[in-house]
Structure 1
């Protein structure tokens, strides 16, 4: 994640999309099938969702979490009390680890925010041991991340300029072929890309809308720039467009694309 303020408040990020990243992380880690006792590196660990999942499911010897955001790392340290976990500030494009260090090198929901993803994946591959797994996942902003897709469609309907901020347009990396090319370009073998789908159910419109008020991420950042009238108009438009059930709940789904390869 970027180290700027837009990705620096752990609690707000958790309310926004962090809570949905945890079930994705669980499916992702289970599918990797890394042997117990492995050495793991979580690049762009953020608030620690993926690190915590590795600790709970994969029974590793150690997990190192690296992120440029002090705020996110502080949240991760508070939430994860496990001697196998270590956290440090770091850059995905210049990892402070020796070659061949880890049995599994993973990254969740990060690479589309890295200015040079090719350099980052080359670093992920460098620190992986021969035969080690290098894997990542990103939200399918263009289609499958419905929470955010609905938001930008409504925003663009009332403000055409908002369309240019839509992650579906801005992040072409979040697609299967782009991820496959990135992994093969780093010299990784046996590259596979697959979807990871999870349900995202909101109690009501307030449960859906409130996370967009936290300022964490492009969509909440856009909301923070609107005046009170425009913000209310956008909320009303979402109320009309979202699939609201009779009990007021909103049942959506979230898709991530997961890529893996072998060093």
Structure 2
């Protein structure tokens, strides 16, 4: 199974939190009804379904390189205005589109500036959001901080170190390099609440995403050590619940 392939596992890990961010993101974009949208790296359809529900689009076309994600989106997004296609950000379809958006994907695109330039060519409005891996995405930050305690030699796996541009300033710089002249940015913070430690930990066992894939690669003894190190870091309430927040950074520009 690849790092990103199974829709239901991804949903339990970060897809459900992405949907909360998507609603805030689209409210911030404040686009008129009746537009043609392109959702780049649509994954399981979190952003696509939110566009359909809140933005009254004429159409939304979602593209993603994962056949598993596209299959999940096709099964779960029941709306004639939506279409999905297996396609990477390096081969985006021809426009024009009124709005080109990308949720939680820019950091996984190797040629980010080139992808943004292409989005600028085919879209009137271009907007993205990414997790604040270095500081504000708490459910992941606790994991990586614990990893550095347990296996400091593996610190290069930490998404906060791997994706340092996932900040307001970093996104502004990428958009500017891609040729946009006026870029707007904002933070979006959503609650991520878990009923228990098992509720928090279970999604990490699915192998979907950078942290779960890393966890799966470890010997079982180190997996156990990391689990207990994470448990010791989390703010677990008296009733066993865990209340965290997740911060994303968003950027938008008009081409």
TM score, norm. by length of structure 2? 0.97
Query: Is 1:77 equivalent to 2:77 in the alignment?
Result: no
Structure 2 residue aligned with 1:112, among 89, 107, 122? 107
Q: Which residue does the alignment assign to 1:172?
A: 164
User: C-alpha separation between the residues in 1 aligned to 2:73 and 2:220?
Assistant: 34
Residues 64-213 of structure 1 mapped to structure 2, 5 A cutoff: 64-98=61-95, 101-128=96-123, 132-213=124-205
Question: Distance in 2 between the 1:152 and 1:162 partners?
Answer: 10
Mind listing any 5+ residue stretches in structure 2 that lack a counterpart? none
Range moving further from structure 2, 171-180 or 67-76: 171-180
Deviations 1:141-172 (CA, angstroms, capped at 9, x unpaired): 00000000000111110111221100000012
Matches within 5 A, 1:24-63: 24-63=21-60
Distance apart, 1:34 and its partner CA = 0.5
Q: Is this contact kept in 2: 1:223–1:231, CA < 8 A?
A: yes
CA distance in 2, matches of 1:202, 1:171: 26
Instruction: Name segments (4+ residues, structure 1) moved above 3 Å.
Output: none
**How many angstroms apart in 1 are the aligned matches of 2:3 and 2:230?**
23
Distance 1:5 1:173 in 2: 25
CA RMSD of aligned residues (A): 1.1
Deviation at 1:95, TM superposition (A): 1.1
What SS does structure 2 have at the residue aligned with 1:86?
A: strand
Q: Which range moves more in the overlay, 76-85 or 232-241?
A: 232-241
Kindly state the Cα deviation for residue 173 of structure 1 after the two structures are TM-superposed: 2.2
Measured after TM superposition, the shift of residue 238 of structure 1 is: 1.6
Distance 1:90 1:194 in 2: 29
Q: CA deviation at 1:228?
A: 2.2
